[in-house]
Structure 1
């Protein structure tokens, strides 16, 4: 009975379950059409909900918010669901047609059941998905990249510059700071230190961004780097235009107080095009960048431009010690001294100090250090690491120069010795005559191009200023230029440079062949007896040797030589006749030589453009018609030459006429535009003043030995509008230099600054001269020296100033406004410089010696100006009377008895 009962119950359950299944299956099929409608309605609702969420997300992303991950997952699931349901709905109409009319039985029961089941399930899944698609927010603010700490080595000597920059960053009105300097000087290290300082204490900034801007940068590349930092960079964003990306970047950064570091700029970055808001007082943001070019600082509109300088001697030695290590420095008693010599060869450039220091870290014998010194002096590129690590970095500056002309001009500097101070004008004259400057036919106009090139090289930090008229080249830059000029240039363009090597004779003739430019200056060469073959030679520097003899054949095979410098060979008494073989010669410098006469065969040098005979005291003979034969001569200098008359015979009217005959020949030169001349008599001056051209091109004028003249009428000099330097000497009877009424009537009608170019005046041994009041008409005077004038009582006479003012009708309140140097010596009667205390805004140096009656200096000071150095005897200084103690405190006294001047 029990078993029967059990079987009965089991059968009932089975039948029940089967019946439920049949009913459920029937339900799927019977409700298929109804579910079809519900599914379509739910699909429409899901699509609408998806579109709403997408629109909300799009609006948030337009505000540069970032969509939430859960929203993105839901949207992806919604898209998948919609696609699946759309496919499913396509099959429902066909399946409903298979169902028997008015019943729930299908002609194909299995397929109808399966479809009905899928529809029912999708309805449930869609209802669940729609419930999950309700969001309080769909996006949030972009995550900001953390501030990146930059890895840096320990640095030396940047502390003061770091403090300066950090201080500027605290100033509200300084938004953009440019750091410029030579490659390898430590600009990136300095910028990294500033960055790390910000990262350690952000001081109220929202974001700090560091970017390396490559030489071939584009706006798009910079935008992508910034986007990575501020969380914008995704596939969708990358598809936008540059303008679109700029708008997005601007929207993010405009809401933030940011610091942006741009390292290694080579040209202007257009911040607006990138989308970077300009730092301003209102937004408080900052931009700091590094560059090798000062011009980039200007183009980036930097409010502060800071040059990162090379290290001083002490700092250089400290850095070098760190890289070499004490163990090596102490390994031999001589090494530390030798190591200091090696460090000095680096010129304070940190990259060179580090590279060479590491290379020498294991060198523990003195010979290795001595060898290093010689290699660095003669061919630094052969030193381990210099070419690969130092020159390879610096050469980017050379390659980035805008023209071949500028590159050639830069290489020209390597003809000079290390640390040599180079006169800008002389250098430009070499360039012009060598053919490097081809924009103008006139030397005077070519100077403009030359000065512009020098200024560009200074701004590129490839040269250093060494005073107003001089430049120098850093030792390591010079080494790089030599490496380029002697090793990398085409064979026919190469240099041969051996300067300051104590050579007793010229290099073997085989080394001359193929050379374009050669410099053997600052050696001890006595004789030039060979005949080198130099078809390509354009420039030859033989100055500052001990030359005595140049053979007749020496110049024979130099057909293309254009520039020849023989200056400062004091023992060189004559030129060989063979110099006439230099048919292409345009520039000949004989200044400071012992030349006694010029050979008549120089007439064959018809291309002469520049002849320098300055300080040739032994020169007594210039053949007649020689100078006038140089028909295209543009520059002639003869100040300090001993010549009086062109036939060399000191007779006849020479004592009265001085060098008047030579001046007559100069008057024939129609292309002359730059002249430095010494005039040795009143008669010669009268001859000179008859030529408007000579007056117009005179830049330096020396008036010497005028025994018959009591008055020099400055009117006679007024037409020399280019006169820069005036030297009046040994005019024993001259009592006055004055401006006449005629001058006022004639000259002042044209201009109120007749001596506008006059910058330097030197007056000596004019024993009756009492003042130089006329200098009130020299507004740009920078240097005044008055020596050995025993009757001089005043520099500026108040009485004569008033008289002149009445004659001319124009007051001159800004006397000495640009004066930098004032030297007064051996003036026993001098009591006054001028009656009124003047500000002397540019004055830096005063020297007073044996002017016992000068008790006051007419100085009034702006409290902000720098100190003036005053040199004189201690006793004179103690007796000086001061109306204003501020003036005394603004002076730095140097006791002349210490031999410092």
Structure 2
């Protein structure tokens, strides 16, 4: 390896030094806590100085003007001898001004290279003779420019020879001689990208492409942001948000297949090449669908000097202390995006700023100060409102925005009015993120068209609670952010939602757990978190969500004996992650013993569960109970952790254990009554199980980590005359399990597969120990006890 570390940052035309610093430290695996640009530069210089013994490569991509390395915090010069710097630029003068030692010019592709690249992206078979001549001529029109070749080739993929000839004619006759501010060499790229744009399937695909130019250069565009624009601009006549999301993802895939959008390292995000973005802005002007993005100071002056009447979308981004004009005259404006990238300085939105923008449908404000009252001029058309890191006042005016379909609040403290559900009858997505307040469950129930909800719900009590429960509930409310408790009727139930990330505001108010919930939402999952809640009806009010619930966290729930008393073949079948902790009354995680027969005959349950974590459940007797007609299949389970469940005597029945083909990690500790991991003879009602196949081997083919700790009653892994095999085992840790016995066949068969023993101390059972500290000292045979020898395979 030539370099020990590589740091990468994209500069763009208007670089933010703070963003450049952040990209560098992230790619180098470092961290900056300083907020001020100069303080961050000082810290970076110190980090580089302390890393002089390491070979570091710094890559600065897309440099447009001379950059003072000292302002970023990069050490340069022979005296420092810290790192090598590689920069990419389109401008020769940048290399001159920055004193580059070595310059490598990347020329255009030659004819053969260009043709091969075109054929690759167009999917042309080498044996197809019908396209040989025309593909050469099309490749020539792309002037050896990879970006142009990819776009044209992708657009012509699967086209006939006649369509190729039509495309060639369009490329040859494109009238691009008068593109203002574009040099002759760049016009070929513009023509090819315009050609690819024209070949997009559908007006909504072209609109989505143009919209992406609204975001700053090199910006990672969140598909959920694009969904908001799609809903606000009514691109799709979809009957639900979920279907609109699917349609949008299909269009995004088409744009990526056309090489007009790029993937990023983050799932759910895309980006636009800066040249493609320039072409999109140019196309918008030509087609009178103007989108513009202005970055930096001087926004007020820019707004006065330039006529904005033709613009459909405007993005104003300030990376210093900026002032907005008192208003903008934009009668055709549908999209407005205001952002201040510095946390310390916020954009002050004037009271009458929106007065001449009555056609606005989508408004995003990041880092602003505003009164909701200022949005009154948009009441007839505004469909999407996103407020991020905003100081908001006059929240009661939210109810005036009658056409609102998406309301997104992130780090924007606001008191949601209780009557908002009655007023915003068209709302479909409500997002109340971190530090943005909470909402009453009753209010959520009043939004008649709500499909997706993400946020905190207020603490509540249920009518008919005992005085002791009510007193405890009120005492708990004193620790809540707003000290309020909502009284729910006995028959209250949450509305059926398509997507959700819900956290009840419990006494712990666990921000880390809520962050995990939001991460789950970003992955498109459905998540429910209940913490420290007293009323018995707590879980019942969410019953409508169980059919598509994917992630469930329960902690501190009392008065509940099982999570789901009765479920059918659809209930919890989408569940992938289940964490249950500190629920003192819980006896069974899932009880399907009283469930009715399903239409599907023998319904399979929990087949998608990947992760299960149980801790502090003193009354837990069974993890799952199911009648004969139900099959609990744990075929996807990879990780199981059980701790401090003192009433549990076993974990799996034999049939359940045989479905554990993906289990990689099994950790069990501090379970006082646990006798075995797999109960092979009895079911949960202590009825004897008949095993007809005579197979006494339980194979766990994927198990890599096995840890048993402080299990005083554990006798064996499997009950009766069964034994298990773990051919993939890499780590075995057994401590303080005095009654654990195992036959020599099982032990030898499993220990010979151990792949990682060195540098660990394992205590196996009560009668022997292995203490390996030096890999070189290992031999293949060890005397473990006085009764038998064990032969080990090759230890890695």
Q: TM-score, normalised by structure 2?
A: 0.50
Larger radius of gyration: 1
Q: TM-score, normalised by structure 1?
A: 0.45
Q: Which has the higher contact order (CA 8 A, sep 6+)?
A: 1
Relative to its length, the structure with more helix (as a share) is 1
Relative to its length, the structure with more strand (as a share) is 2
